[in-house]
Every structure is written in C-alpha cells, then in structure tokens.
Amino acid sequence: MGTRGRVTKVSVADLAAELDVSTATVSRALNGSPAVRPELAQRIREHAEARGYVANRMARALSANVSRAFVGFVIPYVDTPAYSSVAAECARLLSADGTQLILTITENDPERELHQLKDLVASRVAGLIISPSTHILEASKQLLSNLPVVEFHRACGIAAPGVFSEDEQAMSEAVLHLAALGHTRIGYLGTPEALSNGAARLRGLHRGLELAGLDRGAVAMRLLEPTTDNGKRGVRDLLDGSRPPTALIVGGGALSIGAAQAVHESGRRLPDELSLVVYGHPSWFALSDPPLTRITVDYQDLALRAARLLNTVLDSGPARGGEPEPQFVTAQLHLAGSTGPPPKRAHASDRKSRR
Amino acid sequence: MGTRGRVTKVSVADLAAELDVSTATVSRALNGSPAVRPELAQRIREHAEARGYVANRMARALSANVSRAFVGFVIPYVDTPAYSSVAAECARLLSADGTQLILTITENDPERELHQLKDLVASRVAGLIISPSTHILEASKQLLSNLPVVEFHRACGIAAPGVFSEDEQAMSEAVLHLAALGHTRIGYLGTPEALSNGAARLRGLHRGLELAGLDRGAVAMRLLEPTTDNGKRGVRDLLDGSRPPTALIVGGGALSIGAAQAVHESGRRLPDELSLVVYGHPSWFALSDPPLTRITVDYQDLALRAARLLNTVLDSGPARGGEPEPQFVTAQLHLAGSTGPPPKRAHASDRKSRR
DNA sequence: TTGAAAGCGCTAACAT
DNA sequence: ATGTTAGCGCTTTCAA
C-alpha cells in the first residue's frame, strides 16, 4: 500500500490500459461526467485512488487552454497585516475553488514588478490580485489591461475593479477630533500622493481642515514611502522643528509602526505633551500605553471582497465594457488615550514667555 | 505599438511560421542553444521580442517533465513575522531563479494540509518549503517523503533537511537569568511538545532549571497552540492561581503577542511585580514600556538558508541516502527592562511570614 | 546548422 | 455509453 518509490507517475493512459478502457472514459469518470456508466465510473475512480493517481494540473490547464489553476498575488510587501492578512484570506478563499495563489513580492520596485508580471503571464495565470507599486511602469499597465485583474489598497488607473479602504472620512474625522480638542498645529505623516490611497488620505485631511476652519498651512507634512523606517524618520523630522505640532496624524500602517516607536523614543508623554493618531491593524499597537487613537480597516472583509471580485472578473473576462465599480471598506476612527487637548504652553524653545 | 487586444497568444509555431524556420530552431534560439547560427538566433529573438512572445511555462514544464517553475510554500499561518518574513525572503530569492512560489496556508489543520499537499503535487511543484501542522497526517508524510522538501520552524520526522531556530540555549539562558535574579516560581507558556520547536524550547527550559538547581515542579506550564488568543488565555491562567509565578517565560511568537497584552491588561508593573521574557520579532514589542526582555531569531537568515537548502535538494532529488543535515539559526536572548528581581514579599495569600 | 516528428498528460470533438 | 483522435505549446531526439 501507499505510494512507494519516486514521485507520482501514474497517468490517465496507465489507468486506461490497466482497466482496459479508453483514456477518454477515464477522464470522464474522473471529472464526474454523467456520460459514463455509474458502475464503471466507480470502478475507475477506485482504481485511480488505489494507484495514487494525481491529475497533472499543468497538462489539464494546457489542454483546457483556460483554467483557474493559478492566480497571481502581487504585492509590494508582505510583512505588514495590510498585506499578509489579505494574502491569507485570499489564499483560503481561492483554495476552496481549487485555485492556487502564486505569491509575488515587488518590494515596490517597478522593474521587478514588470518582470514578475511577465512571469505570471508566462504561467498563464487566470487572473491577478494586485497592489501596484508606487511608480508602476507603462509596460506593466499594458500587461494588466489584457488580464482579469483586481486591485486592492492601491489603484494605478487601469480599467480594473478593486477593493479599497475608504479612508477619507476617517481621516477627516481625525482632524476634526483634534481640532475640537483645541489643536491648531497638526503634523501629518503619510504616503506619497502618487499612491492612490495616499491621495485619498490627503483628501480626507484637507477636508477635515476645511471643516475645522483651519488653514492648510497649519499642517506640517511628510509624504514618504510606507516603511517602518520612514515612519521613524518622518516623526523625527516633524517633531524636531522649532515650532513642532501639538498633534500628529499618521496615514499608513507601516509608517504608523515606526512613528509610534519614534514618538515613544522621543520621550513625549501621550496625550499630555503630544496627541497621536495612528493607522492600521490594532494588533500592532496593542502594547502601547496609553492605547492609541487609531484608524482601522477590516482587512478580512477587504480580502473577501477581493476574492469575490476576482471570481466575477474571471467569469466575464478582463475589462469588458464600461468602467468597473470599485468597492470600498470603510475605515473607522477609534478614540483612545493618545489624543487630548494640546499642552497649555507653547514649546519651550519657541517663546521666552516663562509661566 | 505594444500588445493590443487580448491576452498574449503568440506561440513558437507562430514565430516559426512568420520567420520561415522550424519550431525547433525557434525553441533553440530562445533557449540560447549554441547549435543555432548566431545571426539567425539574433533575428529570432528580436522577432519574438517584437511580437511580444511570452513562453508558456506550463507547456515548458509539461514537456520537460521536470522543472523549477513552481515551488510550494506551505505554512500554518502567515500573519506573524515568523512566517511572513520567511515567505517574503524566499519569494525574493527564488524569483531570481525564475521559480515561483505557490502560497498555501493550512491554518494548522491536518486535513486541509493533506488536501493542499495533493494539489501541490498535482501542480507538479519542483519541491516544497514547509512548516508542518502540529498533527500532520501519515498520508501527508507519505507525500512529503516522495518530494524534495525543506522544513522550517517545525520538523515532522520525515527524512528531509530543514532550518530551525536553535532555541534551547536561549531558553536555558532565560531561565538562568531569572533564577540569578532570585526567581524560584516561574511560569512557562509555550507550544505543544508535539511541535518540534515546542519540544526544543521545553528542553531548554528543563536544562535551564537543572543548571539553576531548580525543581521542574517549580514551573507552572501551559502548552498551547501558537495563537495570539492562546497567549492571552495562557497568561491569565498562569497568573490567576493562588500562588502565581513571579516570572513568566513565553516560548512562541504569536503566544508572546497575546501574552504581552494580557500582562499589560492585568495591570502588573514590569519588572517590579512580574518579570517577563517574550519570544519573537522585535517589531511586535517595540512599543511596550518598559522594553521587553526577549528571545529573537534572525528570520531573514533562516529564510536564506531555507532557500539555499531547497536549491541543494532540488539538485539532488528527495531524501537520497543518509539523513540530511538540519541547519540552525541561533536564537538570542536580549536583556531589557521587563526582567528584574522578584517582589520582596511572597504573594499575600501564600504565607503569613512577614518580613 | 536546421527540420520533421514524437511526445509530455490531459480534454474535447467527433465517431460509433 | 464508450472509443478514436486531434490538439494545447513546448522541448528534444533523430535525420538530413
């Protein structure tokens, strides 16, 4: 019993020969075609099982010349919940349909991205779930426009559906929250405007400022690539000025992690000396004391929608007809202990006014 | 110019026809065979380029009947750095060789795992990088023993090479560190002994106790599946007893995250009221105050070794000859502010002995 | 140096 | 209900 020796080597031809039927019958039986006598089908299946037969998906895909065997999953990073949790959930959902995920990490490098997209096309993936790199190449877009594609987190302007977090409102709420507390000098650390989600958050920021009656000039900004290091750097920059902001908003998950660390390292007490609003999965900030006011997104929901969207797109081919509808998962602002009224006095180095 | 219309559809046959040569010549030219006249080869390549030709990896793999097109990456979870960072690094390293990673998440479910392994075999993956589920099925082991496999983090007793973190020493050091500080009642929260790394950490614990001259009975233990929730639960259990430990060691990344949260929520001050040693990637604990004494592993190094090992295994076929050498990445104990002498007085409910 | 042809393992017309 | 056969796109003998 059991498969001894080397790797599986049984083919339909083998089974057919051994049972003295045709390969077509075997194939039909194995695929549950009703056109084969139940008893025979049963016998074939049992024999296949006994011989440890495992169908070759490549051959199958090649023959069918269209199959859902593989789907490409293209992301800039994977070591942050915004991506890893979506990857996990998509892999889970798609595997139920017998679709396998080919994982590809661009590190936000456009060249690498293009190369990987080509490889994915070469693998004849049925479709793609992608979070494009910041400065995606034209050639990459070309490739994408000829494939069933679902975007998430970031959009790159191709005619493909996508799932995104709707950050504008939460962002604007965050500004209003701080303004209501009395803050007038706010620092913003976010991702570049070239990133669709960076742009959305910026819109939210601006809208919040407008509603709060604050001038855009009231905000010191740093727009950086979303990495933990940039989070640290950005916060240090923002805090080091001669007239540092009394409140900080961070728009981006990886940035927030670094930002929270940098704030912590700066020794400023939250919220007495500084108010802080971070962005991202709660688990990253669970240990901080006080708990941080934060903007969160339900990544699982987002993943679910992405997987569903992909199925839709796979059923109807790439970018047919009109502009596809993007879907949105609403980000939520959660208040916690890291935001409060601004310090009573201006920063020491600012004015000489003692008490 | 550029690829218009539908998906890439150019085949070697097309190129051959267009250039009035045979498919064999095209294939040879494209694969850089020296057997083709350089000038012709050049012309073929240019034409292929111009026509936007992309070789079909499936067909290629099918024909070659052995290829490195795909490698399976099988892990129980992906939302923890212990896995996500290894995934990222492996994807990066393998993609350089033109190998794509098929990501598969078992959620530590043996049935699911078996099913996915079958699918991977069906996809004719060249090999597998796997972190087996806790209670892996015999059938799964069977499959694995007929494939080039590299294990990591966890070993399941098959004759395959692997990369693991060498936790024993760090674990034992942690115990000695606590013992030296004066702790005699230590709590241990770890993963089940059925997990190879759980067993290793336990050995380290025992060795530490022995060296410290402490009895094994001095340790209250909880061995749980590595999830954040279990981390919380375990800590609450350990701390709720009538004679709670004065120090806690956590052996496991996900467990540590939950554990740190639970400790935090319990309101105990570190290290005055409780000493705590956690395990895992520093980024998860960066925000905690005080910084936590921790055991860390260089996952990037681990990933690098895994990728290298895989290449070796792919070159020599599965489990040939003698037992393959496992590799180890040494875990490091970093001292920080969460460990200190035990509280002066025993727990109130413990003994009446004052001063 | 190049071409013709035989597969790789499977599915799907097209017979019977 | 079952068998025959022609591919899917590529590599690779075997001939020329």
A241's CB contacts (< 8 A; 6+ apart) are: A220
Q: Is the pLDDT of residue B127 over 70?
A: yes
| SS3 call for A186 | strand
Q: Is the pLDDT of residue A237 over 60?
A: yes
Would you call A119 and B101 a contact, using CB atoms and an 8 Å cutoff? no
Q: Is the pLDDT of residue B320 over 90?
A: no
Tens of pLDDT along A277-332? 999 988 888 888 889 999 999 999 999 999 999 988 888 755 555 567 899 999 99
| A19 domain residue, yes or no | no
CA at A65, C1' at D6: how many angstroms apart? 15
| B17 domain residue, yes or no | no
CA A109, A110, A113, A115 torsion-angle sign = negative
| B194 domain residue, yes or no | yes
Residue B83's alpha-carbon distances to A78, A91, B164, B253, in angstroms, are 10, 15, 12, 10
3-state helix, strand, coil in chain A (%, to 5): 45, 15, 40
Q: A287 and A236, same structural domain?
A: yes
What is residue A354's predicted lDDT score, i.e. its pLDDT?
37
Tens of pLDDT along A50-97? 999 999 999 999 998 778 999 999 999 998 889 999 999 999 999 988
Domain containing residue A147: CATH number: 3.40.50.2300
Contacts of A122 in chain B (CB under 8 A): 54-57
Residue B348 touches chain A, beta carbons under 8 Å: no
Q: Contact at 8 Å (CB) between A71 and A101?
A: yes
What is residue B1's predicted lDDT score, i.e. its pLDDT?
36
Tens of pLDDT along B52-94? 999 999 999 999 877 899 999 999 999 888 999 999 999 999 9
| SS3 call for B203 | helix
Between A54, A77, A288, which is nearest B287 by CB?
A288
Tokens, residue A66: 């269209």
Average of pLDDT values for B103-124? Answer: 96
Rounded to whole angstroms, the Cα distance separating B234 from B262 reads 9
Q: A228 and A111, same structural domain?
A: no
CA at B16, C1' at D13: how many angstroms apart? 19
Q: B234 and B136, same structural domain?
A: no
B60 touches strand D (CB under 7 A): yes
Pairing of strands A247-251, A275-279: parallel
Q: Contact at 8 Å (CB) between B268 and B262?
A: no
| Nearest nt (C1') from A124 Cα | D9
Domain membership of residue A81 as a residue range: 70-163+300-322
A279: left (phi over 0), alpha (psi -120 to 50) or beta: beta
What is residue A65's predicted lDDT score, i.e. its pLDDT?
76
Q: B316 and B260, same structural domain?
A: no
Q: B218 and B289, same structural domain?
A: yes
| B48 domain residue, yes or no | yes
- Confidence at A352, pLDDT banded by 50, 70, 90: very low
| A245 domain residue, yes or no | yes
Rounded to whole angstroms, the Cα distance separating B142 from A4 reads 8
Q: Is the pLDDT of residue B352 over 50?
A: no
Q: Is the pLDDT of residue B6 over 60?
A: no
A13 touches strand D (CB under 7 A): no
User: Could you say which DSSP state residue B243 is in?
Assistant: S
Q: A34 and A76, same structural domain?
A: no
| SS3 call for A291 | coil
Q: Tell me which long-range contacts B15-23 makes (C-beta under 8 A, separation of at least 24).
A: B15/B44, B15/B47, B15/B48, B15/B51, B15/B53, B18/B47, B18/B51, B19/B43, B19/B44, B19/B47
Q: Is the pLDDT of residue A133 over 90?
A: yes
Q: Is the pLDDT of residue A7 over 70?
A: no
Pick among B115, B266, B287 to test the A interface (most A CBs inside 10 A): B287
What is residue A39's predicted lDDT score, i.e. its pLDDT?
93
Q: A171 and A112, same structural domain?
A: no
Q: A304 and A235, same structural domain?
A: no
Q: A278 and A187, same structural domain?
A: yes
B37 touches strand D (CB under 7 A): no
Between A100, A104, A285, which is nearest B287 by CB?
A285
Would you call A54 and B118 a contact, using CB atoms and an 8 Å cutoff? yes
Q: Is the pLDDT of residue B286 over 90?
A: no
Rounded to whole angstroms, the Cα distance separating B151 from B73 reads 10
Q: Is the pLDDT of residue B119 over 50?
A: yes
Tens of pLDDT along A168-225? 999 999 999 999 999 999 999 999 999 999 999 999 999 999 999 999 988 999 999 9
| A355 domain residue, yes or no | no
Rounded to whole angstroms, the Cα distance separating A296 from A256 reads 12
Q: A38-52, B15-29, B278-292, B313-327: lowest mean pLDDT where?
A: B313-327
| Nearest nt (C1') from B63 Cα | C8
Tens of pLDDT along B22-33? 999 999 999 999
Question: What's the mean pLDDT when you consider all of chain A?
Answer: 90
Pairing of strands A162-166, A275-279: unpaired
Q: Contact at 8 Å (CB) between A180 and A341?
A: no
What is residue A4's predicted lDDT score, i.e. its pLDDT?
38
> Residue A236's Cα: distance from chain center in Å?
27
Q: B102 and B127, same structural domain?
A: yes
Average of pLDDT values for A329-355? Answer: 74
Residue B240's alpha-carbon distances to B85, B187, B236, in angstroms, are 35, 11, 6
Tokens, residue A124: 């004849």
Output A242 or B306, whichever has higher pLDDT.
B306
- Confidence at A9, pLDDT banded by 50, 70, 90: confident
| A225 domain residue, yes or no | yes
- Confidence at B9, pLDDT banded by 50, 70, 90: confident
Would you call B92 and A107 a contact, using CB atoms and an 8 Å cutoff? yes
Q: Contact at 8 Å (CB) between A122 and B60?
A: no
Pick among B58, B84, B94 to test the A interface (most A CBs inside 10 A): B58
Nucleotides of D under 7 A from a protein CB: 1-13
| Burial (Cβ within 10 Å: 0-12, 13-18, ≥19) of residue A135 | middle
Q: What's the total number of domains in chain A?
A: 3
| A5 domain residue, yes or no | no
Q: B225 and B156, same structural domain?
A: no
Pairing of strands A100-105, B100-105: antiparallel
Residue B287 touches chain A, beta carbons under 8 Å: yes
Question: pTM higher than 0.75, yes or no?
Answer: yes
| In chain A, residues 78-137 whose CB comes closer than 8 Å to chain B | 78-79, 81, 84-85, 87-88, 91-92, 95, 98, 100-105, 107, 116, 118-124
Q: Is the pLDDT of residue A2 over 70?
A: no
Q: A290 and A170, same structural domain?
A: yes
Domain limit, last residue, from B282, B298, B314: B298
Nucleotides of C under 7 A from a protein CB: 1-13
